[in-house]
Amino acid sequence: MDLELFRGVVPFVAVARERSFRRAARQLGVSPAAVSKAVRLLEERLGLPLFVRGGRSVALTEAGQQLFARSQEAVAAVEGARESIEQARRVPEGELVLSVPFVASALIAPGLALLHGRYPHLRFRVLVTDRLSKLAEESVDVAVRIGPMAGSSLIARRLRQTRLVTVAAPAYLARRGEPRRSTDLDRHDCVSLVAPDGRPYPFLFAGGARAVAAGLLIDHGPTLVDIVLAGFGITQLFDYMAEPFLRDGRLVALLADEVAAGPDVHAVCAPGRRGAARVRAAFDAFADTFAPKRR
């Protein structure tokens, strides 16, 4: 095995993640000159430039992109392995970086409160986005994902099952009447959530998926809820999103005999991070708080 194999790889990955020598140096706790020298020596050994340097930021060359794609997971794996065996990491501490889709944001607060109470030395950074985060590349510790995980290389823990509830505000139903079956939706105003790929999600019922002619498409779950509360039309929500509004009467559940099971909610992490104490703590706290509350 070549003893020079990993020399310069960690600084290179840090620069590739941050797109900046200065920010990478700050992250590594060394000078920008030291990072620049390490990357330059790595480029000399490879015989190829890894970055296009210019201005305040840098961009990866084609060779840099290839090396980053292969080396980032290795660096994450080493980081996770080191954290799992260090005595100091047995108690969760430092910064926990979370990525959560908008439609799961309502679930995250109790888990964060529980984590903060259990481990006061933990700090948190939460990225609320429907973009599918590249966990290793973006230094995300734990992500919440909704949907099947078959075939994924990520470490996943199922947190809860969901149901899809068809709902509308009382004001809308007073104006337009209540649908008695899913086929009646063709005569109603519907609001559909748009997937990250730009296509609207179909409504799901016990008998299968049904495309609806939505009068409004939106890519932000919380705003979708606000629009339906205002009486615009009918939509489908995950049960945990709809529950507080059904309880206080601001929404009405429709088509109860056609309710469908929705996708599962998972906590996931990159394989190299599963040994980190903060990741294990997050998995446990979310498992404790995401499950539906029994009455």
In our burial notation (b when 16+ CB lie closer than 10 A, e otherwise), range 254-269 reads bbeebbbebebbbbbb
Give the containing element (helix H, strand E) for 66: helix 62-85
Question: What pLDDT was estimated at residue 39?
Answer: 93
Question: What pLDDT was estimated at residue 84?
Answer: 63
- Burial class for 294, CB neighbours closer than 10 Å (0-12, 13-18, 19+): exposed
Supply the pTM of this predicted model: 0.65
Q: Per residue of the chain (295 residues), what is the pLDDT tens digit? A: 455 667 889 899 999 988 899 988 998 899 999 999 999 999 998 899 999 987 677 899 999 999 998 888 888 777 777 766 655 457 788 899 999 998 898 899 999 999 999 999 899 999 998 777 677 667 889 999 998 887 678 889 999 999 999 999 999 999 999 999 999 999 999 999 998 788 899 999 999 999 998 999 998 888 999 999 999 999 999 999 999 999 999 999 999 999 999 999 999 998 878 878 899 999 999 999 998 765 5
Question: What pLDDT was estimated at residue 4?
Answer: 63
Question: What pLDDT was estimated at residue 170?
Answer: 97
Question: What pLDDT was estimated at residue 213?
Answer: 87
| CB neighbours of residue 281 within 10 Å | 20
**Which residues, 6+ apart, have CB-to-CB distance to 24 below 8 Å?**
11, 14, 15, 17, 18, 32, 35
Which residue matches tokens 């259990």? 118
Question: What pLDDT was estimated at residue 55?
Answer: 67
Q: Which domains does the chain have, with CATH numbers?
A: 9-85 (1.10.10.10), 90-159+263-290 (3.40.190.10), 161-261 (3.40.190.10)
Question: What pLDDT was estimated at residue 277?
Answer: 87
- The values of phi and psi at residue 211, to 5°, are -75, 135
What's the token pair of residue 89?
């990491």
